[in-house]
Amino acid sequence: MSELAVSARLRQAADPVWEKCLHHPFVTGIGDGTLDVEKFRHFMLQDYLYLFDYARVFALGVVKARDQELMRTFSKNVDAILNGEMNIHRAYMKRLGITEEQVFAVKPALDNLSYTNYMLSVAHTGGPMEIVASILACSWSYAEIGQALAKIPGAADHPFYGEWIQGYASDDYAATNQALIELMDVLAAGATEAQIAHLTDIFVNCSRYELGFWDMAWELRQ
């Protein structure tokens, strides 16, 4: 078996997709401040809806967990999404003049539905190990994107997009993501090569869905 940790193997397998995400015109537009606000508005509405299903995937981890500590870990992540990450979205929606009622009048785009339905399917049919693999692509890629954009001079201080960059480049977000990476390795410690191959498929598929989500936002797809 490879000496690489399972998380490193997953990240390595998804690298070509993640490179496309990092250099996507939507992402680079946030970094240089040139992104059309209407595209960002579309993204934030869809991402807000996405996060509810993302939290449900974590909640299924509570259901599937067989020990109390793992249940607590999944539960803490549900809280971190609903009462932490979503605050970034709520702040922007306020600035854009969008009420929560208006958000729920919006239908999830097809790319959004496909992505969340895939993760929920993985969560329903798999166990904690598969659930974390499906969750990690989103968390980890946003951490890397946030950190990369924060290195651009002035980007984190941009009057509009700076708050988004600061949120995903923050120490708190990095710590939450690192805990998920470490949980992936703990859960997969005794995994067979066949199981790791399955986890890799899940992680890469979710990474491809991440790229599709950026495409959806950039093209204003419904």
Phi-psi region of 208 (alpha: psi -120 to 50; beta: other; left: phi over 0): alpha
DSSP per-residue string spanning 103-151: HTTSPPPHHHHHHHHHHHHHHHHS-HHHHHHHHHHHHHHHHHHHHHHHT
Contact 27, 161 (CB under 8 A): no
| CA R_g for the chain | 17
Catalytic residue from among 85, 130, 144, 210? 210
Catalytic residue from among 138, 182, 193, 206? 138
Instruction: Specify whether 144 is catalytic.
Output: no
Contact 195, 188 (CB under 8 A): yes
Residue in the block written with tokens 């968390």: 139
The H-assigned helical ranges of 23-85 are: 25-32, 37-64, 68-80
Q: By three-state DSSP, how is residue 154 classified?
A: coil
- Residues 114, 95, 80, 166: is their CA dihedral positive or negative? positive
Residue (of 177, 151, 117, 142) closest to 43 by Cα position = 142
Instruction: Specify whether 193 is catalytic.
Output: no
Note the Cα 186 to chain centre separation in Å.
20
Q: Which residues are catalytic?
A: 138, 210
